């Protein structure tokens, strides 16, 4: 299948720029989640936006439970998309699960990447008692999450959206996220959630050879601060910054903070 159609790929910015930015979105949103970020970089960068399989306007017929039961299918997709950068290594900006997809792709095909930016990303969401690793979730919590999604997806969306978005003084942001989740096919949403929440890619972190910026927000229900601290310790030479933003979607709720962080790094 045509890569552009499969992932609803869009190009923006300056096609003649010598530098490229590739934006990868997280669970429950799509490339539109970066719409407030893009204008700040359009003049100086060639920009590539895409939707992950199963999300946004990606071609649903290309979604396969087998291919995407782990992150490897997404890593293969991203490697193909990074091949569109016209031979120049690109800075990859990955939100949430796309951050780890970017890490894995950069470890496998380092020549395609220049730098990595990880926004609210995690190598493992599940607490791991033997290693005293804190991911933020235990098995009981995850079981309850999946049961809620399976039993009444609409009700789960209504409850989860404001928790993930935070910013209670701007309820329209949670409503926007809820609409994005409601646009997903519930069975695919559940499968993707399981692929994400059961992942464990801690072993990938020490292998990173690219300059890496880790962005942490306050009150992120999905990724507690201890996770970003763990990532900073285990990704060689990485830099972690805490921005003045609440919740799991700072590119939507605090775009100015993300723009400033990116400009200081790229």
What is the set of active-site residues?
Answer: 96, 220, 248
Q: Residues 213, 117: contact at Cβ < 8 Å?
A: yes
- CA dist 60 → 6, 44, 49, 54, 191 (Å): 8, 33, 17, 6, 14
By the 10 Å C-beta count (0-12 exposed, 13-18 middle, 19+ buried), 198 is classed as: middle
**159: its two tokens:** 């409850």
CA atoms of 7 and 51, how far apart (whole Å): 5
Residue ranges in 126-170 assigned as alpha helix (H): 139-151, 153-165
Q: Residues 19, 46: contact at Cβ < 8 Å?
A: yes
Q: Residues 31, 254: contact at Cβ < 8 Å?
A: no
Q: Which of 260, 183, 239, 198 is nearest to 68 (CA)?
A: 198
């Amino acid at each position: 299948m045509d890569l552009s159609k499969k992932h609803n790929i869009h190009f923006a910015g300056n096609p003649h720029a010598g530098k490229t930015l590739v934006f990868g979105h997280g669970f429950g949103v799509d490339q539109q989640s970066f719409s407030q970020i893009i204008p700040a970089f359009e003049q100086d960068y060639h920009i590539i936006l895409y939707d992950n399989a199963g999300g946004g306007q990606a071609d649903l017929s290309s979604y396969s439970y087998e291919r995407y039961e782990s992150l490897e299918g997404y890593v293969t997709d991203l490697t193909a998309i990074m091949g569109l950068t016209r031979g120049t290594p690109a800075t990859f900006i990955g939100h949430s699960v796309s951050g780890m997809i970017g890490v894995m792709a950069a470890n496998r095909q380092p020549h395609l990447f220049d730098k990595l930016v990880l926004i609210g990303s995690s190598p493992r969401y599940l607490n791991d008692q033997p290693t005293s690793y804190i991911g933020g979730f235990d098995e009981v919590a995850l079981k309850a999450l999946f049961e809620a999604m399976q039993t009444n997806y609409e009700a789960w969306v209504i409850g989860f959206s404001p928790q993930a978005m935070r910013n209670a003084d701007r309820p329209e942001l949670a409503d926007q996220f809820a609409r994005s989740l409601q646009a997903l096919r519930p069975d695919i949403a559940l499968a993707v959630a399981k692929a994400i929440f059961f992942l464990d890619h801690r072993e990938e972190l020490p292998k990173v050879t690219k300059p890496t910026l880790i962005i942490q927000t306050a009150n992120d229900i999905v990724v507690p601060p201890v996770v970003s601290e763990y990532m900073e310790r285990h990704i060689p030479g990485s830099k972690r910054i805490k921005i003045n933003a609440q919740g799991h979607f700072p590119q939507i709720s605090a775009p100015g903070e993300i723009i400033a962080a990116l400009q200081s790094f790229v």
